[in-house]
Amino acid sequence: MSCTNVLLAPSSTSTKMDGSSTQLNATLICAPIMADSVDQMLADLAKAKIRGADLVEIRLDSLKTFTPRVDINNLIKGSPLPTLFTYRPKWEGGQYEGDEEYRFDALQLAMELGADYVDVELKVASEFIVSIREKNLKKSKIIISSHNYENTPSVEELGNLVAKIQEAGADIVKIATTALDITDVARMFHITAHSQVPIIGIVMGDRGLMSRVLSAKFGSFLTFATLEPGVVSAPGQPTLKDLLDIYNFRSIGTDTKVYGIIGKPVGHSKSPILYNEAFKSVNFNGVYTHLLVDDISSFFHAYSSTDFVGFSVTIPHKEAAVDCCDEVDPIAKSIGAINLVVRRESDGKLFGYNTDFVGAITAIEDGLRGSEEVTASADSPLKGKLFIVIGAGGAGKALAYGAKLKGARVVIANRTYDRARELAEVVGGEAISLADLATFHPEDGMVLANTTSIGMQPRIDETPIPKEALKHYTLVFDAVYTPRMTRLLREAEECGATVISGVEMFIGQAYEQYERFTGLPAPKELFRKIMSKY
């Protein structure tokens, strides 16, 4: 389904003293508290307050020992934030395996003692509501929840589920599904944006991250964020720190424009840190997020709204992205790969560009000029150099094209020789297999550029070429920037070569992307300051 023409309620704004407006949203941030003791829970409740949560979800099913009246009373009194009590049974993804009546009694007790919210599963909601009907427990709001750990149903099925949860007596509807593909999130956005009742809509898993980051844009009552990385109550939850500090969650409203990096894998990318910090520095109303995409064509079809306006594209989608665009910049068309897609607001058309080769080639030229072997000249220091490109994908094409443009003699080394040959024919170069690279040294003073993901986290011990072969190169560039100093660069430096990190390419290509995203000059000093931390 497409997010096109989603109708959204206007968000509220506040006006600063200088007359500018700051975007606000009503979506709450809830921190799950999952400790195995009440004492640890009380400590975590204090942490949640300090770290910026609006409320806490106290997961009673995580406690190893539990004395209901005493423990719940202590937790409510000791919480500096509003409380949501959940006692999740194993059959709905929790840890509780005991008697249902005991579980109901504990949730009812939480209501009696002053809990702000309790969460009850749809499967037993009617039974639970009957059990409390005669009691005056109006202070507590009842969240009735449905969890699907298999998939995300159709929009029609989700709509029917919302109606069923409402009929069961929910004050707040909660639906959590699983993302098999990032396009599944679009269906949840459709439901939350059109809901006439308070609703929590979450799509679990790494492909569902966007549902959490953009929950305020699409009208979710709350989103969940964890105190610590990895300590999650459901797959795909970001940390409080990331949600607030990286994604600027408090500034996201219904009119916030969405940007992101499309890739697979993509979680290692520092792009959200870079762009969101830059957006924040000039009060630009946009948010930039990781987009774990399996099929880029399906992604653009699902998110065809002009709310989704700008995308960085990385491995393995740079070549496939060309066919998704309505227009492609002539240089990018020559390369046959793009790393930037911008949607025009007036008609929704997609425009593709390649900023990879400028960032990388400039960094390599600067590195050569900084070495003692290169004298000042009007020509590129790459002119006449033997330039070896490892990889024949999108980034490889960009580097090969850029080097050829600068007068270098280009050789493509790739695991699949046929792909290397295809690219070599396009740029007028030679081709070898990656296996042959270890013994390939027709001359000294060559330049090597790795454009593959070999050596990227988590496989940081890998390298595309033996150390012994690196003595024939005067400069080695690695497009990988996580880690900054890859094994390839470390060994090249030990062999006496000038090394250029992928961070230089990353920053260089980001300048043009930011300007095309925002229409504003790139904050170059800020970009370098941010990336110096990594």
Of 411, 414, 415, 435, the closest CA to residue 424 belongs to 411
User: Pairing relation of β-strands 286-292 and 386-390?
Assistant: unpaired
Catalytic residue among 61, 116, 174, 242: 174
Q: Kindly give the residue spans of alpha helices, DSSP state H, lying in 79-183.
A: 100-112, 122-132, 155-167
Here the tokens at position 463 are 């390298």
CB atoms near residue 11 (< 10 Å): 18
Q: CA-to-CA distance for 339 and 311, rounded, in angstroms?
A: 8
Q: CA-to-CA distance for 504 and 149, rounded, in angstroms?
A: 41
Cross-strand bridge partners of residue 222: 28
Catalytic residue among 217, 356, 397, 478: 356
How far does CA 516 lie from the centroid of its chain?
A: 20
CA 177-180-181 angle, 5° bins: 110
Q: What distances in angstroms separate CA 147 from CA 26, 90, 273, 340, one per listed residue?
A: 24, 12, 31, 36
Contacts of 162 (CB under 8 A, 6+ apart): 173, 175, 191, 195, 197, 199
- Annotation marks residue 147 as catalytic: yes
Residue 455 Ramachandran class (φ > 0 left, ψ -120 to 50 alpha, else beta)? left
Q: For 8, phi and psi rounded to 5 degrees?
A: -125, 145
> Which SS3 state, helix, strand or coil, does residue 32 take?
strand
Q: CA-to-CA distance for 337 and 219, rounded, in angstroms?
A: 36
- Annotation marks residue 356 as catalytic: yes
Contacts of 160 (CB under 8 A, 6+ apart): none
Residue written as tokens 């159709």? 154
Catalytic residue among 190, 217, 318, 397: 318
Catalytic residue among 61, 71, 119, 147: 147
Of 127, 145, 43, 8, the closest CA to residue 85 belongs to 145
User: Hey, which residues are catalytic here?
Assistant: 147, 174, 318, 356
